[in-house]
Amino acid sequence: MSWSKALGQYLCTRLPVMQFVPLAVFIAAAGLAPAPPGPLSEWVMATALALILVLQFRLWDDIADRERDCESRPERVMCQARNIKPFLVAALSLTVLSGLLLAWYHGQNTRSAAYLLLCVTLFAWYRLRPTPTAPGLLNSMLVLLKYPVIAWLISTPGAVSDT
């Protein structure tokens, strides 16, 4: 299977539009809630950023859980792929894109540092966690922490203190 077909199938199966677009809208609304309603373009940009960040970290989660998923869910696209290099390249590309978009959206500030800290923390956790085949409560809490952080990362500049 070609890398583009594998990535396309991955997106269709692991990021269904009917679930992840509403999630991105919800995260954007949570991030923009502290400020007065802004123009539609601000909402669209915040939703797009949320969607890209959710996609990025979903891909990270699936790459990190591939070993366990190959045992429990062998039908998943990433488990069926002989080579996961396209997924790794996509994850790296999304990570860079997210960082650049956040820096453009907010400028170089505390949020850029927080994004970097979130990436480093999750990357380190995925590499160092004791048993990737049995994640447990600590894993769930740490991995779910990304959603409120994403909401803060995309919040309106000045709506939440950056100090």
pLDDT per residue as tens digits for the range 56-71: 999 999 998 888 888 8
pLDDT at 163 over 50: no
pLDDT at 160 over 50: no
The pLDDT of residue 133 is: 56
In the predicted model, what is the mean pLDDT of residues 75-89? 90
The pLDDT of residue 158 is: 52
The pLDDT of residue 144 is: 87
Q: Is 96 exposed, middle or buried (0-12, 13-18, 19+ CB in 10 A)?
A: exposed
pLDDT at 162 over 70: no
